[in-house]
Amino acid sequence: MKFVAMVSGGKDSFYSIMECIRNGHELVACAHLSPRTQNGTDEEEEEEEEESYMYQTAASECIPIQVEQCLGVPLVMRQCIGRSDNTMLVYDHVDKVNKQDQDRQEDEVEDLLELLSKVKEEYPTVEGVSTGAILSTYQRTRIESVCGRLGLTPLSYLWRMGPQRCLLECMLKDGIEAVLVKVASPPGLVPRKHLNKTLGDLYYGGIFDKLKEKFDFHICGEGGEYETLVLDCPIFKKKLVLSNVEIIEGDDGVGVLKVHECHAVDKHEEDGSCISWDVTGPLLYERINEDAAQSHDIPTDSDIMEEAQDSLQSIPEINVLPHVKVLPGGLAHVSEILSPFVPCSEMYYCSSTSDNVEAEMAVMEAKSIFSILEATLKTIQWTAVENHVRHSAAATPKDVVFVHLYLSDISHFKDINAHYSAFFGTVLPPSRSCVAVGKNVLPGGRRVMMDCLIQRGSGEYMRISPDFNSADAKDKLSAVNAAFVMDHIRNPHHQLRSTLHVQSISHWAPVCVGPYSQANTLRSGIIFMAGQIGLRPETMKLISHDWKVQLRQSWRNASSVLDALQGSLKDALAAVVYIASKEVIAPNNSFRPKLWKVCENICRECLLSNGNIESGIIDGMKVTQKDELYGGYEDYETYREIMASQNIDVELLDNECEVNNRPLLMVSLPQMPVGAVSEVELICATQKASSCLSINVVAPSDKQPNYADKSYDNPTAKGFRSASEINWDTGYDGIIYDEQQNIINDTAVRNAPVKIHSIFSHLGKGCAAIGFAAASYCSSSEKKAIRLESIFEQMIDSAVSTLQQSTGLGISNILHIRLFYVSNPECDNSLALKSSLQASLSIFWNAKLGNRTKQQLPATSIVPVQSMAVSPSFSSPSPFLAMQFMVADLLHMETEMWIHHNRAT
């Protein structure tokens, strides 16, 4: 087709003409938009117009001679009137019915429309428009917009031709001779040094390659690094000569070559100006592909194979989002978030130390985890019937309440913290517990694992100003959560979420060692506390190297945090206590069982004494706390008098019965932050909730029944199965049941290899519960191989039975199950454990619910430890498996608190 070429004087527009001709098109004329002040006298206006988003304006004074005399075709020009008014990436024009409308949009693109309209009038056979756009979507879409309005075909044969080095080499080999007329890439290109220098000298001299390596310089100048003026090329009939030039340098390092005089001269073979050009040669994309294959920038097959060995090794599986469990009221848990890939040490140079390499790879995993969590948060479906509003995320990192962060090595803690802080922010962040579980024990040899608790809309809820107007909800709140948040703003009795985040060093309690809060409270009833270690608050240093001293200080710090929330350790529901493995594991790789008894005694002592903190004295709440409703009586004195008439000491009851039996899981693992050897992780009720709902502990007897009792003469009728169906089957029947005589062999019962027990602490009836189920060998000397699914089913059954019988909660209320297991660094059991746990949950849920309803399985996390114990103690030796259950119905808790507390106040 016949085409007109848009020219700016530079290499791209003229090389595009050459490629159009090579593709069989016929050049009719050239078109050019000259700067609006080219002939003007207003220096200030001229300076402003030099900055154009779309056109090259440098050396535009040479274009009439360059096109009409050197190229030998007509030139159609129009002075540019408009500016870059619409700077969006995609241009959307506005048609005007009245063309004489003085208020029409003054955009330089409309000047292009007028210019090409003039071309069509003068050359009606023109069908196409040539442009030199390489990577500029901004330029390409505007030319396409104008061409579409005029019925012209845009020809952009240079568009996305690359690599840029290959494209520039093709230009130079095909005879494009150009000089730099503008530079804008300080400190790379210097105006007085590089302006008026030929493009070939600079490229082949290696300057562009050096700038590319150091500053990511665009070889073809597509980042605006430089602009050129073509002096000669194979389609020129004459050569352009610059006879009088001036270098103008700005304060910002940008320089322009001002051409005062130029003229065209004939080309002669003897001076090398007549360059042959094969119009019928290979097309540009064919040449670039060939050159790229030979270039050192494009790796060969062997390079790719070698690089693959040094790069990240992806796990050969589908990458999926982690499991999410959602409870009514918008409480959710995202479990076991892992990087989909495991970085390999071979990808780093030998000069890096092994510690640095491991830390960098841990950071890579952490960044991947944050990306996965962000994607997961956006896709949470809060209710079965609630659809997401388009372009509105269901949750954000600000809605995360608590984070468990598990590392392979605590030395990665500092490096990951920076990225953790960037993701969650430093204002009202979630609480966090961070521990190191050891190398090669996380799934697949990973270095980082995370799970988190989320409360829908809580991030926006906490950031609403006191003067918030409900009429502005649609504008200031996310569409998917606006109604939910507004409902809780109107609730005067219970806060959806509140955060305690103290960052000042004081004598009160330690500031957090990282970007997280001391505590987060949900619905004014449940407190999720950050892990507390044995730091002295005033110095932020460990109080001692002794684990026992650190443990007492950890409890004291926890008590201080609760005191700031008008609570105390008597409000604790349950705790996980971490002790460094070096304190528990002996040099011969056996553990010290008596240490767990010492640990338990310290914990019970601290619970009874409230960590040696007198609660409520700072806020003057000591008396008023006891004026709350106790046992349904109107005040504390009446409660104490009535209980005394029954020979019950209220003080002793409060201390011993309510606190001394709180469930504790004590585990040992390699490391904790800042070299600590003890850490306490607590979930508590608020003082408001515990005073009106009460906290109770349920600890049924071991799941293994006493078959010597006459009441068990028909175990099948009591819910226990025959020998072939025993859930905790360990590869053989375990219990010998004689079906003919309908009795069970007592000897086999006493020798059963595994014993399962559970304990729960619950707030009120049907409100919230935290508990543990543990499996231990009956004999420390005989440890047989076990069938995981059977053990898991029995542990789940033990826990669920306790829930349903005593707490008013059921399986639909189970939010999260955290499985602790004794790990072996030489054998990765995590994947087998996860698979078996998921299978057991599915079997159990189907058996309990059948097809009556569709329920989400709880979120699950698998945590490797080196030894553990449950308190109050149930068995010896220590468990090899333990499950922590988080169970809640916080909507019901709010209702119960209103009935027993707020309605009376």
Map tokens 């005029």 to a residue.
150
Confidence category of residue 487, pLDDT binned at 50, 70, 90:
confident
* Number of Cβ within a 10 Å radius of residue 898: 15
The residue that leads in pLDDT, 59 or 556, is 556
- Which tokens is 765 given? 């009836």
- By CB atoms closer than 10 A (0-12, 13-18, 19+), residue 266 is exposed
DSSP string, 867-898: EEEEES---SS--SEEEEEEEE-HHHHHHHHH
Pairing of strands 678-685, 526-529: antiparallel
H or E element: which one contains 49?
Answer: helix 43-49
The residue that leads in pLDDT, 334 or 845, is 334
As a whole number of angstroms, the distance between CA 183 and CA 207 comes to 13
What burial letters (b/e) apply to 411-421, b meaning 16+ CB within 10 Å? Answer: ebbebbbeebe
Q: What confidence score (pLDDT) does residue 819 get?
A: 94
Under 8 Å between Cβ of 670 and 436: yes
As a whole number of angstroms, the distance between CA 766 and CA 405 comes to 30
Map tokens 């608790």 to a residue.
453
- By CB atoms closer than 10 A (0-12, 13-18, 19+), residue 853 is exposed
Q: Is the peptide bond before 187 cis (omega within 30 degrees of 0)?
A: yes
The single-letter code of the amino acid at 557 is: N
Under 8 Å between Cβ of 521 and 561: no
As a whole number of angstroms, the distance between CA 410 and CA 676 comes to 10
Residue 529's nearest CA partner among 685, 668, 676, 420 is 685
The residue that leads in pLDDT, 900 or 12, is 12
- Which tokens is 372 given? 């996965």
Quote the DSSP letter at residue 857. Answer: P
DSSP string, 328-390: TTTEEEEEEE--SEE--GGGS-TTS-HHHHHHHHHHHHHHHHHHHHHHHHHH---SSSPPPPT
Percentage of residues of the chain with pLDDT beyond 90: 35
Map tokens 């460990």 to a residue.
542
Q: What confidence score (pLDDT) does residue 530 get?
A: 95
Under 8 Å between Cβ of 682 and 558: yes
3-state secondary structure of 404: strand
Q: What confidence score (pLDDT) does residue 832 get?
A: 82
As a whole number of angstroms, the distance between CA 330 and CA 488 comes to 12
Confidence category of residue 748, pLDDT binned at 50, 70, 90:
very low
- Which tokens is 221 given? 């100048």
Question: Is the pLDDT confidence value at 136 over 80?
Answer: no
Comparing 287-296, 472-481, 658-667, the range with the smallest average pLDDT is 287-296
Quote the DSSP letter at residue 721. Answer: P
Under 8 Å between Cβ of 425 and 398: yes
- By CB atoms closer than 10 A (0-12, 13-18, 19+), residue 280 is exposed
As a whole number of angstroms, the distance between CA 651 and CA 874 comes to 27
What is the mean predicted confidence (pLDDT) over 691-703?
A: 75
Q: What confidence score (pLDDT) does residue 873 get?
A: 61
Report in angstroms the alpha-carbon separations of 362 from 370, 406, 438, 826: 12, 11, 13, 21
As a whole number of angstroms, the distance between CA 225 and CA 219 comes to 9
Residues 6 or more apart in contact with residue 652 via CB below 8 angstroms = none
What is the mean predicted confidence (pLDDT) over 62-82?
A: 90
Question: Is the pLDDT confidence value at 447 over 90?
Answer: yes
Map tokens 């001679």 to a residue.
65
Comparing 73-77, 191-195, 577-581, the range with the smallest average pLDDT is 191-195
pLDDT, tens only, 204-258 = 888 888 888 888 888 888 878 899 999 999 999 999 999 999 998 887 778 899 9
- Which tokens is 196 given? 């008026």
Alpha-carbon torsion (455, 456, 459, 463), positive or negative: negative
Quote the DSSP letter at residue 584. Answer: H
As a whole number of angstroms, the distance between CA 151 and CA 128 comes to 9
What is the mean predicted confidence (pLDDT) over 787-804?
A: 88
Question: Is the pLDDT confidence value at 420 over 50?
Answer: yes
Residue 458's nearest CA partner among 370, 324, 331, 333 is 331
Confidence category of residue 875, pLDDT binned at 50, 70, 90:
low
* Number of Cβ within a 10 Å radius of residue 646: 6
- Which tokens is 457 given? 């809309």
Map tokens 């309605």 to a residue.
903
Under 8 Å between Cβ of 472 and 500: no
Q: What confidence score (pLDDT) does residue 346 get?
A: 54
Report in angstroms the alpha-carbon separations of 228 from 56, 58, 197, 768: 9, 8, 10, 73
Confidence category of residue 92, pLDDT binned at 50, 70, 90:
low
The angle that helices 108-122 and 137-150 make with each other, rounded to 10 degrees, is 40
Residue 322's nearest CA partner among 344, 338, 343, 304 is 338
* Number of Cβ within a 10 Å radius of residue 402: 24
Residues 6 or more apart in contact with residue 115 via CB below 8 angstroms = 31, 33, 76, 77, 78
Residues 6 or more apart in contact with residue 450 via CB below 8 angstroms = 337, 369, 373, 403, 404, 405, 406
pLDDT, tens only, 639-686 = 667 666 655 555 544 444 456 789 999 999 999 999 999 999 999 999
H or E element: which one contains 690?
Answer: helix 687-693
Range picked from 271-285, 552-566, 855-869 for highest mean pLDDT = 552-566
Under 8 Å between Cβ of 406 and 435: yes
pLDDT, tens only, 147-174 = 888 989 888 888 777 678 888 888 998 8
- Taken as a whole, the chain contains a residue count of 905
Q: What confidence score (pLDDT) does residue 678 get?
A: 96
Under 8 Å between Cβ of 687 and 627: no
Map tokens 């009137």 to a residue.
81
* Number of Cβ within a 10 Å radius of residue 903: 9
Confidence category of residue 7, pLDDT binned at 50, 70, 90:
very high
Across all residues in the chain, what is the average pLDDT? 79
Range picked from 111-120, 144-153, 305-314 for highest mean pLDDT = 111-120
What are the E-state strand segments in 778-880?
Answer: 814-822, 859-865, 867-871
Q: What confidence score (pLDDT) does residue 702 get?
A: 41
* Number of Cβ within a 10 Å radius of residue 162: 17
pLDDT, tens only, 169-189 = 889 988 899 999 998 877 778
As a whole number of angstroms, the distance between CA 115 and CA 345 comes to 60
Question: Is the pLDDT confidence value at 619 over 80?
Answer: no
Question: Is the pLDDT confidence value at 703 over 90?
Answer: no
What is the mean predicted confidence (pLDDT) over 490-504?
A: 88
Question: Is the pLDDT confidence value at 753 over 80?
Answer: no
* Number of Cβ within a 10 Å radius of residue 463: 12
- By CB atoms closer than 10 A (0-12, 13-18, 19+), residue 51 is exposed
